[in-house]
Structure 1
Amino acid sequence: MSRILIIEDELRISSFVAKGLKAAGLAPVVADTGHEGGELALTGAFELIILDLGLPDEDGFSVLKRLRDEDVTTPVIILTARGGVEDTVAGLRGGADDYMAKPFHFDELLARVRLRLRTGDNGVDTSVVRHGSLEMDFLHRRARVHGREVDLSAREFSLAEAFIRNPGQVLSREQLLSRVWGYDFDPGSNVVDVYVRYLRNKLGGERFETVRGVGYRLLPDA
């Protein structure tokens, strides 16, 4: 399980990202200051770092510089409210591997994370996940059932990914909203139920069990 270091001082965002990464089968760790995050990053215990620039004790650029000066080669994705071209260029020139501006959609962040992680240290491609006759290729954004390709929208694909990354686990509507639609989406919306219905129509209704009063669960093939 890949360990991801999140260096972010805004609790709402760090919690949202951590929950989403955990639901995707990753192991997130949060640091809310540049000093703490830098010290953790220097241990080499993480496969990827998500770094905010507006930290309370130091600028994220200085954290990035310290890591690269210490020959830490862990991929870094900058996630920040600074969306200007100058900041983007400075981040990439300073050694960041990617740059995303806030506000953001989690499914895009996860796609970028997986782009950096899709090949493990053993050289095995980890971008394809199977559960029974359902197969999802995250690199090419394709889904297949019994070998037949199924056309899914970007949102449907992200929702299906949340299920296949957690087979047999009950996922609440709140978890799915946070993971697929974002931390600022209306929690009273019924959009999860609507999209689960779409997935049932496209991938098979028997796959998705309704757990009354809680949420949904992906079942093995009948």
Structure 2
Amino acid sequence: MARHALRILYVEDDPRTAAAVSELAASCGDTLVWEENGSAALLRAGMEAFDVIILDRMLGDIDGLTITKRLRESGIGTPILMLSALGRSNDRAEGLDAGADDYMAKPYEPDELMARLRALHRRAAGQEHQAVIIYGAFECHLKARTAFRNNKHLSLSPKEFELFRYFMENAGETVTREMLLRDVWNIDFDPQTNVVDVNIGRLRRKLEEGFDSPALETIWGSGYRILEGV
């Protein structure tokens, strides 16, 4: 079966870098649309459909973190791969917390960049058949990126939604800290920070506020599990 040709939005303020990536995408049979600044990219992303977005973190007008947050707040769930010369673990965590789906540090291998884009598209396409996940009193609307408990809308940040979705996809199972770092933060090592615990605490408060029964159960020494919330 022929591979789906990607339609990529690339946000990069360096024309030479943009030209090189555009040539790379074309050699793979994909179509790349380049925008030089964040303002234009936000407008384009809101008007046209893309399979994936490559977003440079450091731009002249609006930084990549802000662009990502604005896209997610406006309901645009297109997978985002953030590129940056800032490659430390806390830099990656910031990008993923803002709502990016993947993060690559510069310099990078061209083949890996395209492989990651294809993986992001496969992951997103695999979720299209299931628009809503329901478990007990909870609902997770994947395309709209919204969450509900007993029909009450839960106002979640982009990262809180990613956590909620992961728990819903693994409903009834214990989710370990290592699983969250790997699958939600895309970090395959322990950064020795409390980023998981802090975000779990925030999510728990939002899931439980105004309700009598708990939403998340801490399995001491193992991880966490979402409860039915009824």
Report the TM-score when normalising by structure 1. Answer: 0.53
Q: Match for 2:101 among 96, 108, 117?
A: 108
Query: 1:158: Cα distance to partner?
Result: 0.9
Query: 1:187: Cα distance to partner?
Result: 3.3
User: Residue type matched to 1:95 in 2?
Assistant: G
Cα deviation, 1:58-113, whole Å, max 9, x if unaligned, reads xxxxxxxxxxxxxx1335699xxxx9312332244342354546567495248754
User: In the TM superposition, what are the counterparts of 1:73-152 in structure 2 within 5 Å?
Assistant: 73-74=3-4, 84-93=17-26, 94-96=28-30, 98=52, 100=81, 102=83, 105=96, 108-109=101-102, 112-119=121-128, 125-152=129-156
SS at match of 1:206: coil
Q: Match for 1:170 among 171, 174, 187?
A: 174
Distance in 1 between the 2:121 and 2:207 partners?
25
User: Residue type matched to 1:116 in 2?
Assistant: A
Aligned residues of 1:209 and 1:216 also touching (Cα < 8 A)? yes
Aligned residues of 1:107 and 1:158 also touching (Cα < 8 A)? no
Aligned residues of 1:168 and 1:219 also touching (Cα < 8 A)? yes
Distance in 1 between the 2:7 and 2:175 partners?
27
Higher mean displacement: 90-99 or 125-134: 90-99
Distance in 1 between the 2:167 and 2:153 partners?
18
* 2:159 matches 1:155: yes
Question: Percent same amino acid among aligned pairs?
Answer: 30
Summarize the Cα distance change of 1:148–1:113 in structure 2 as closer, same or farther, 3 Å threshold. Answer: farther
User: In the TM superposition, what are the counterparts of 1:1-222 in structure 2 within 5 Å?
Assistant: 44=1, 72-74=2-4, 84-93=17-26, 94-96=28-30, 98=52, 100=81, 102=83, 105=96, 108-109=101-102, 112-119=121-128, 125-183=129-187, 186-204=190-208, 206-222=214-230
Q: Which residue in 2 is equivalent to 1:17?
A: none
Aligned residues of 1:118 and 1:126 also touching (Cα < 8 A)? yes
CA RMSD of aligned residues (A): 3.3
Count of aligned pairs: 144
Higher mean displacement: 98-107 or 172-181: 98-107
Q: Which residue in 2 is equivalent to 1:8?
A: none
Higher relative contact order (CA 8 A, sep 6+): 1
Summarize the Cα distance change of 1:74–1:112 in structure 2 as closer, same or farther, 3 Å threshold. Answer: closer
Summarize the Cα distance change of 1:101–1:199 in structure 2 as closer, same or farther, 3 Å threshold. Answer: closer
Aligned residues of 2:138 and 2:228 also touching (Cα < 8 A)? no
Distance in 2 between the 1:130 and 1:165 partners?
9
Cα deviation, 1:162-187, whole Å, max 9, x if unaligned, reads 11110111111121122222316753
Distance in 2 between the 1:150 and 1:187 partners?
29
SS at match of 1:181: coil
Structure 2 residues not aligned, in runs of 5+: 9-13, 31-50, 55-80, 85-91, 103-118
Distance in 1 between the 2:198 and 2:151 partners?
26
SS at match of 2:197: helix
